Amino acid sequence: MMEPFSAGRYVCELPYGRNLRPADPQVVLQEQKGTCSTKHALMRRLAIEQNFELSLMLGIYLMTGSNTRGVGEVLARHRLEGLPETHCYLRTGATRIDLTRRGNDRGSHSLSFLHEEEIDPNQITQYKAGVHRNFLEHWIAQSALSGFTLTDIWKIREECIAALSG
């Protein structure tokens, strides 16, 4: 078994991409790619196995072209400055660890989260989506985004996610 730091470097180097079976604990290793959810859930499972202090966190931040590479054109096309997006990352003590943002990306440590909570690796699918949809419903109502429904915003979000993979 790899040490947590070696495993973290390995997982970080894998490309960003949606997995076919995100609830499968081994999917990142099998498909050699992953999202913030699947990569960090894998590392949290390894940390549990190795008795290593590491929390899996779910955060919601305002995704913009300046803090999330590749989404600016999509948001501009829909005349939006930003969209609330969920992001999973790891935390040990007060330190955030993000294995999906590399190179010039600043990582989750530089994001301002509107909501944060610790989750279990088994909560990266339905639970995470439910939290996100509830947050978006409140955000749409509070922002008075006339003409946008939750379905509209979710479709725009999917376009943004596709831009991340491209």
For 2-17, the DSSP string reads: --HHHHHHHHHHSPB-
- Tell me how many domains the chain contains: 1
pLDDT in tens, 51-102: 999 999 999 999 999 998 889 999 999 999 999 999 999 999 999 999 986 5
pLDDT band at 143 (very low <50, low <70, confident <90, very high): confident
- The whole domain housing 140 covers 4-165
| Mean model confidence pLDDT for the chain | 89
Rounded Cα–Cα distance for residues 158 and 66 (Å)? 18
Q: Which residues of 34-59 are buried (b: 16+ CB within 10 A; e: fewer)?
A: bbbbbbbbbbbbbbeeeeeebbbbbb
pLDDT at 105 over 50: no
Q: What is the CATH number of the domain that holds 134?
A: 3.10.620
Question: pTM for the whole thing?
Answer: 0.88
